[in-house]
Amino acid sequence: MNLRLHFAQGLTFGRGKADLLQAIDDEGSISAAGRRMGMSYRRAWNLVEEMNLAFTEPLIDSARGGSGSGGAALTDKGRRILAHYRALEELLRTAGAPLLDDMRLSLADRPAADDAGDKGADEGADKGAGGK
């Protein structure tokens, strides 16, 4: 199951962005988080900027620096948004399981055509997270 939220303001938020937030929290660095997820620093930084601009407060606080300095950390808002997303995933896995199972069982036994409308800004982050 892959939860991808599309907000009217234009932000798409899914597992890739959530995993990036988690990796930044774990690693204390955007570049280390990007490496851990198999994405370039530029891609990770672009996603951080996108998330920071999309919310009323930044999700990630970063300080520029080179070797041995700088770093990044989730803000309180970033931790809250990540926790909300993880809670929604869990809700779908538990309370939503019967509904999702019924939807899966209703699918035809043929590959679905790629629906370009379902591919959003989060796709690159999902790919960076191993396509999960």
- Which tens digits make up the pLDDT trace of 60-86? 999 765 555 569 999 999 999 999 999
pLDDT digits (tens, 9 = 90+) for 35-68: 999 999 999 999 999 999 999 999 999 976 555 5
Question: What is the C-alpha to C-alpha distance for residues 11 and 23, in angstroms, rounded to an integer?
Answer: 20
Return the SS3 of 76.
helix
pTM of the model: 0.77
